[in-house]
Structure 1
């Protein structure tokens, strides 16, 4: 098997360059100068004065960073065992991150020097303190290459203030869409048939989200659905590829990453879809549909001034697709894998789903999804094992600050909570390595706990969705989508693992945890 190089230059390209040696020399000198200046700034920014994980085992910071890249869960488990209630440093490809204990959360959740968006956008702000204007040059560049970044504050406000309030109206509609689309997307099978569900679940989620974000026309637009699902996958492939390179090499390397070209094409198709939706709004003289879409919410009231800004509306739609689809489809796929790995829960969950109340038209309502208490517990247990983010409460310091224990944090430093290790803590969970799909259902039977430990809960003891005012605002929509898909799957299909096959391992890279995309389960239509 031939080895695939990170990038290759054609003979013609090299020949053309060699025809102009002075330009080559000038380019080399310029790049070397920039690199030396960058490395000077890099080395001059003070490393936080904390204990660095793995420093006694692996002497090279680069090797420690690679160990974290490819074995993040094991690395974080070592950190939790050694520094459970302390701050510790973690070498990454982007410098040292600080892992903080949950006891800091209440004091830090609204700290003005910490930013969720900057952390997601991956900007190395600490370099900007040395000279004004240099911060754009020294961005970590993932957002520059993928356009993947955190949603703007007014987008988050629109989700919380407008979209969440309309979920009661959306739920029956989304249920009808799942009922209609699942047989076509997932397939129909008279006999046990192997099928890869990963991409099909993504398509189901993307179709529902297209209706919520841009309306019915978008949910029926084949080109847009292909582009939006492709964007979700290409973004994370691109990020994984870039993260393996030193930040100062990424401005060169990114041009040779195949996913980058795919992302540009997906944005071109996204622009076409957004422009069509904006024209439809103008022709209707108001909202696209009832209930209103996110495009409507981002074009009305306090957002009316950006109603005609194509590029900004495109940015928001692609951001919503990236952050609003990946967690939902990943969690749904993981839950399906857990269900076939623990088939004893299938009849229990099926009985519950078939017994919950529906509206007069036979559709599930928001109250129906709330009544799926055992399914909610199963999803939360699956999330405990397979949360899409191994760490949460991801923040970046936008100013120098001190942590509650007095640790000095320089501007630009990233902080996070070791959620994946907390989820396996014996002091918090009985038999934490054992999958108990009804664990949280049983916890909720305690007096006063009836509304705690829900799948969409967020708090100091529920960190999968983050914490504080930047806990995932779309988690309620996500929970509804997942329950609707799981309910229809349980009612209409028998599912199981192939003989002799175990649940697949997750694909884990730094903070990201993804389900195996090529795994096949066995499906068969139920005999009704």
Structure 2
């Protein structure tokens, strides 16, 4: 077409021409790609409705009835994959040893744990830009875990101090305690005694910041997942404010970090005298290592973010697990004495140490059984599929899909657990007494029938710290208090929002100081 004829086109014609170009170069390829992906997804059976509009009805039902829906798919498609609709995407769920093994073995080029977390936690909106970072996992996996034996006395000291402060029960009367928020305060103080030490771990504003950042992030993620993708930026405007939380955290942590950097400069070495063995040090050292002897200019801001993010992970999981354990203990007071009979002589022999925690087989079993029945989610091992993933049985999960395992179904499966609906606190310790089974059924062990800590390349690196901390917390409760529910109630009903599980936040437990303590 000549330039003269081009100029003669009306504005409407020019707009139509541009529309055709846009359609041909951008929209049509996107539509073709979407259709190819949906063909592969449609080959996977659905629990619920699969229509374009009717699937939103099923997505709404999943919010309130996720355990039943997961169980339905687990029973209907044993050893296979099925999918459930969520408001903003499809979730593929796999079951059976073969498919779970395939998912565990999948390479980092095929699936991504980080991308799945970014999607499920809506990190772009809830946790900030540092949620994906190079420092935290190596630190949690190595120096943090290695420091447990030498720093265990700090955990123990803060456990005693926080319980004395927050649950000052007497021998002569019962004290009613609102559990979940109280436990979050205890866990925040105990974890941060290990992370940042005294006096910051007891600072009320710092404790409050970590707790509410954790609560807000999960609440906001759950809220955002109810919206289609195109509405999330709008919905985000009415939710929590990550930058404000990080600015508040910086007031507490920046002076501490700057003091460490000043010491390095003063002594002209990283290994200056009396260097603290804590999370701030480990993060600074990891940044130095990954930077080949240099740290980024914004290192103070980065370390502040990383400390808060590690707190987020530690406080949520540990608080949920600890609260569930207290509820089961209060609902089953008859198991307290057998646990005390194990704990007391071990502590007398080994003291309050990591080695002592490792000897508490019945306590480990009790904790693992409570998590088998409750846990923190109905799904585990979530992975974002980066390129089409073909399982051994021929199932193809297309790129861009989140795939996970049905942990709720697995933990209630008769094929794995005798009488699976019954709480048997010493289920795993009884098994461990058999020949060759002493290590296989620990709470932290890799167990194909137990999915609390995920599996494969991304099995939770903080599980050793978390389990030892929870053991120390429960052991303290058992030796220092009697606990029960008023009126001998059973375990209070949890709150489910989709596949996410939260212990009842309004339940109260009765505490009384033990004379023996």
What range is the shorter-chain TM-score in? Answer: 0.7 to 0.9
Please state how far the C-alpha of 1:396 moved relative to its aligned partner: 0.4
**For residues 280 and 41 of structure 1, do their structure 2 counterparts lie closer, same or farther at Cα, with a shift above 3 Å needed?**
farther
Instruction: Give me the whole-angstrom Cα distance separating, in 2, the residues matched to 1:287 and 1:458.
Output: 36
**2:161 paired with 1:180:** yes
For the pair 1:349 / 2:339, whether they are aligned, the reply is yes
> In the alignment, is residue 277 of structure 1 matched against residue 277 of structure 2?
no
Q: Distance in 2 between matches of 1:233 and 1:437?
A: 29
Query: Which residues in structure 2 correspond to 1:447-486 (within 5 Å)?
Result: 447-486=435-474
Which of 84, 88, 106 aligns to 1:111? It is 106
Residues of 2 paired with 1:498 and 1:264: CA distance?
42
After the TM superposition, which of the residue ranges 395-404 and 197-206 deviates more from structure 2?
A: 395-404
TM-score by length of 2: 0.85
Partner of 1:142: 122
Residue 250 of structure 2 aligns to a residue in which SS?
Answer: helix
Matched, 1:380 2:405: no
2:198 matches 1:216: yes
Q: 1:415 to 1:287 in 2, by over 3 A?
A: farther
Q: Separation in 1 of the partners of 2:166 and 2:385?
A: 44
**Partner of residue 299 from structure 1, selected from 277, 281, 284:** 284
TM-score, length of structure 1 as denominator length: 0.83
CA distance in 1, matches of 2:104, 2:379: 15
Question: Is residue 498–residue 521 contact of structure 1 (8 Å, CA) maintained in 2?
Answer: yes
For 1:84, the equivalent position in structure 2 comes to: 78
The 8 Å contact of residues 214 and 293 in structure 1, kept in 2 or not, is answered as: yes
1:440 aligns with 2:422: no
Larger Rg: 2
Partner of 2:66: 72
Q: CA deviation at 1:392?
A: 1.0
Q: For 2:81 and 2:227, how far apart are their aligned partners in 1? A: 27
**Matching residue within 481, 484, 503 for 1:496:** 484
What is the CA distance between 1:109 and its match in structure 2? Answer: 1.9
- Is residue 195–residue 523 contact of structure 1 (8 Å, CA) maintained in 2? yes
Offset of residue 325 of structure 1: 1.6
Tell whether 2:303 aligns with 1:316: no
Counterparts in 2 of 1:344 and 1:317: CA distance versus 1, 3 Å: same
1:483 is displaced (CA, Å) by 1.0
Deviation (angstroms), 1:357:
3.5
Deviation at 1:43, TM superposition (A): 5.7
- Unaligned runs of at least 5 residues, structure 2: 1-21, 265-269
Which consecutive segments of 4 or more residues in structure 1 shift more than 4 A? Answer: 36-45, 56-59, 148-151, 286-291
Select the residue among 92, 98, 105 that pairs with 1:98. Answer: 92
- Out of 248, 251, 254, the residue aligned to residue 233 of structure 2 is 251
In the alignment, is the contact (CA less than 8 A) between 1:459 and 1:468 conserved in 2? no
Unaligned runs of 5+ in 1: 1-32, 123-139
Question: Which residue in 2 is equivalent to 1:6?
Answer: none
CA contact (8 A) 2:70 2:409 kept: yes
Number of matched pairs: 472
Q: Distance in 1 between matches of 2:480 and 2:375?
A: 27
Compared CA separation, residues 186 and 193, structure 1 to 2 (3 A): closer
Q: Is the contact made by 2:154 and 2:193 (CA closer than 8 Å) also made in structure 1?
A: no
* Residues 410-461 of structure 1 deviation map (CA, whole Å, 9 limit, x = unaligned): 2211100001111111111111010000000001011000111111122323
Note the alpha carbon deviations across 1:468-523, whole angstroms, 9 max, x for none. 12111001110111111111111111111111533211111122111111111111
Match of 2:173 among 191, 196, 207: 191
C-alpha displacement at 1:273, in angstroms?
Answer: 2.2
In the TM superposition, residue 353 of structure 1 has moved relative to its aligned partner by 1.6
Work out which of the residue numbers 389, 393, 397 in structure 1 matches 2:381: 393
2:148 is aligned, of 167, 186, 208, to 167
CA distance in 2, matches of 1:368, 1:196: 30
- Per the TM alignment, residue 159 of structure 1 is displaced from its structure 2 partner at its CA by 1.6
CA–CA separation in structure 2 for the residues paired with 1:45 and 1:218: 54
Q: Residue 155 in 1 paired to residue 129 in 2?
A: no
Matching residue of 2:118: 121
Structure 2 match to 1:46: 37
1:89 Cα deviation after fit: 1.3
User: How much does 1:165 deviate?
Assistant: 1.3
Structure 1 residues 291 and 41 mapped into 2: Cα distance closer, same or farther (>3 Å)? farther
